[in-house]
């Protein structure tokens, strides 16, 4: 019985170490590249929202609920690519969508971009998305192809930006796009890939 318990503790401990190693929580940044980001094919809308975990409200004193006052997309050097401000603050479950264009409706080049959500009580919250070349007709697949470069972020107990892993194919003028979201039973924490 003791051997089985010891073996179970070792297996669970090893699984925890492996799970932490897959996330980029403890990895130092290399140059300007962030330690974690969500990969997207070029031309695919990037869906994201502010998540406020329940643990955030277990602090003493209880913090104010953050409301969204606006959001923006920045290049890694801080240049603002696109921004949107709200006249009235939005709830923290408000879903935002960036179509990968700049202020002049031009497709942004491939690269890593910073998503920033401005809030009423927690300041600015950031996360990163990496825009990658679409595989094309020679290699047909949807945006959940295994070869998309993603470095998952680890779970946060503070408010964070959750970036939808997959929202559809690029738009083609004169066509209809149907989006189907399938829950594959993967945690929405960001650790692990669907």
**For 42-82, what is each residue's pLDDT tens digit?**
888 999 999 888 888 888 888 888 999 999 999 999 999 99
Candidates 73, 167, 148, 146; CA nearest to 112 is 73
Comparing 93 with 69, the larger pLDDT belongs to 69
pTM: 0.68
Candidates 43, 188, 31; CA nearest to 108 is 43
| Cis amide bond preceding 61, omega within 30 | yes
Q: Are 47 and 164 in contact (CB under 8 A)?
A: yes
The CATH number fitting domain 36-163, selected from 3.20.190.10, 2.40.50.100, 2.60.200.30, 2.60.40.4070: 2.60.40.4070
């Amino acid at each position: 019985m003791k051997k089985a318990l010891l073996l179970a503790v070792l297996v669970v401990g090893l699984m925890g170490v492996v799970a932490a190693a897959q996330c980029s929580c403890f990895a130092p940044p290399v140059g300007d590249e962030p330690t974690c980001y969500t990969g997207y094919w070029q031309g695919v809308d990037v869906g994201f929202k502010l998540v406020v975990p329940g643990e955030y409200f277990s602090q003493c004193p209880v913090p104010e609920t953050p409301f969204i006052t606006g959001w923006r997309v920045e290049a890694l050097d801080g240049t603002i690519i696109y921004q949107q401000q709200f006249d009235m603050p939005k709830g923290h479950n408000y879903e935002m969508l960036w179509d990968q264009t700049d202020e002049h409706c031009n497709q942004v080049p491939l690269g890593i971009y910073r998503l920033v959500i401005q809030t009423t009580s927690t300041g600015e919250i950031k996360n990163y998305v990496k825009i990658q070349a679409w595989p094309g007709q020679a290699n047909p697949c949807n945006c959940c192809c295994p070869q998309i470069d993603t470095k998952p972020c680890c779970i946060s107990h503070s408010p964070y930006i959750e970036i939808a892993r997959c929202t559809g194919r690029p738009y083609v003028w004169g066509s209809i796009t149907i989006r189907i979201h399938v829950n594959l039973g993967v945690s929405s924490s960001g650790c692990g890939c669907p």
